[in-house]
Structure 1
């Protein structure tokens, strides 16, 4: 009798059979995702869907507007959740149950040729450039990003050209700072999150842009590990995703490389004093 009762309880607690890999995504956030399924996270989702033998479906909502509450945790009475996984969240993000990280990237400096930075390959080389040259630069950056603090710390605050990250225009996308303004010469350089830097620098055919991954330093964190997120309490689902992250590691690495993501190691973290 006990065995039968236990089996009944286990059956009642078992998660429902999945009919699709249901992904929560931003509809206009390349290089990560869009409604045409052209982003990094779309491509990885397709790899996972194939491995699971499931079709991939998307539930789209702008990431700038309480994204998790309106996607992964959104549920009307009598209805199911619209999606079950967020393909990219920072490690340690507490609004979801976070998987183990699957890549580390860092903010990057992207610059156009002929501005006095030609040949610069590291943040140290940038900071050692003649101060008269640096003082003339117009460096685009998004507000509330570590780039602002970095410029302040190195006496370059006057070079910063701020951009608003929380733009209400649904057509706005983070790569505009590179694809439109840097390419057009409105600014000389930009400091943005690495995957955005790598992807949009590749898309600009002329001028040829250079991407310089930046190392974190005391007080300025540039590098972050990225993971995936599921709902709290869905332990088996999380373990299944982590298994895919391990078994599909070569495919994931190839996708990141294709999109120009500057993948870095722990040496890019700030050194402890």
Structure 2
């Protein structure tokens, strides 16, 4: 999944959103905007947890499901949701101001991923060993923006031993974000600082045993955030669909949590969202 400014672009106005929502309901289809090559979130085989979640939503609404597939890069929303080709994005940051968001359905955190046989037991951003270990991070966006762990490490002068892996990667290969975790597997780097759903999923399926540990000691790096609540997004003004999705979330939280755990997603108490807590 991309965060904040890197995940989505722009949306259509109220008139277009209402017209398209009516069409979708008349057709009896839940039209989902998704990336066909972005596990653990989604892929063309509908094997991602957002695909499974969308299927659950469609059953709840009594509708068929259909997809508009588009790589989640710059222009994703412009070419899908804004263009009226689909009606919901299954994962956006809660409160993202360019779409209408539902209540959050999960909250996750950045994690450290390392080989079990290294016995590093890393969890703190303040661990002095980070000054000497080879650390991998995702670079987000076309301009290679730094994610929160990279920013925090840079604030401590930990720069020369950082290795960047584009979250976009080579789209001809399956699941480009997986390259970061594969670098841990093959010993190219000592540890990865990754967004939890990515780290947890690929570590769970690694042929080499890996540890996944939530990153702690983040308070001193405020206002950097290391935990994010995730919601579904619809076009602004499409309150009818938003409310239907909210009802689904409220009624199926236990099933949603079970689905996320089965994909290795590290879950953080959603109560932290309401309190504004970062840890």
Q: Give the shorter-chain TM-score range.
A: 0.7 to 0.9
Q: What SS does the aligned partner of 2:231 have? A: strand
The aligned residue for residue 15 of structure 1 is 22
The aligned residue for residue 246 of structure 1 is 250
Pair 1:56 & 2:65 matched:
yes
The aligned residue for residue 105 of structure 1 is 108
- Aligned equivalents of 1:114 and 1:136: distance in 2? 18
- Aligned equivalents of 1:161 and 1:52: distance in 2? 45
Q: Alpha-carbon deviations, 1:25-78, whole Å to 9, x = none?
A: 01111000000000010000111111122221111000013111111111xxxx
2:114 and 2:212 in contact (8 A); partners too:
yes
Q: What SS does the aligned partner of 2:176 have? A: coil
| Structure 2, unpaired ranges of 5+ | 1-18, 140-145
Larger Rg: 1
Count of residues in Structure 1 that have an aligned counterpart in Structure 2: 245
From 128, 135, 138, the equivalent of 1:139 is: 135
2:166 and 2:177 in contact (8 A); partners too:
no
Question: Structure 1 residues 104-113 or 215-224, which shifts more?
Answer: 215-224
1:25 and 1:61 in contact (8 A); partners too:
yes
Q: TM-score, normalised by structure 1?
A: 0.82
Pair 1:174 & 2:177 matched:
yes
2:89 and 2:234 in contact (8 A); partners too:
yes
1:214 and 1:268 in contact (8 A); partners too:
no
Question: What is the 5 A alignment of 1:14-163?
Answer: 15-16=22-23, 17-74=26-83, 81-115=84-118, 117=120, 119-120=121-122, 122-123=123-124, 127-128=126-127, 131=128, 133-143=129-139, 144-163=146-165
Structure 1's 269 and 155: CA in aligned 2 closer, same or farther, altered over 3 A?
A: farther
- For the aligned residue pairs, the C-alpha RMSD in angstroms reads 2.3
The aligned residue for residue 209 of structure 1 is 210
- Aligned equivalents of 2:29 and 2:162: distance in 1? 45
Cα shift at 1:166: 4.0
Q: TM-score, normalised by structure 2?
A: 0.81
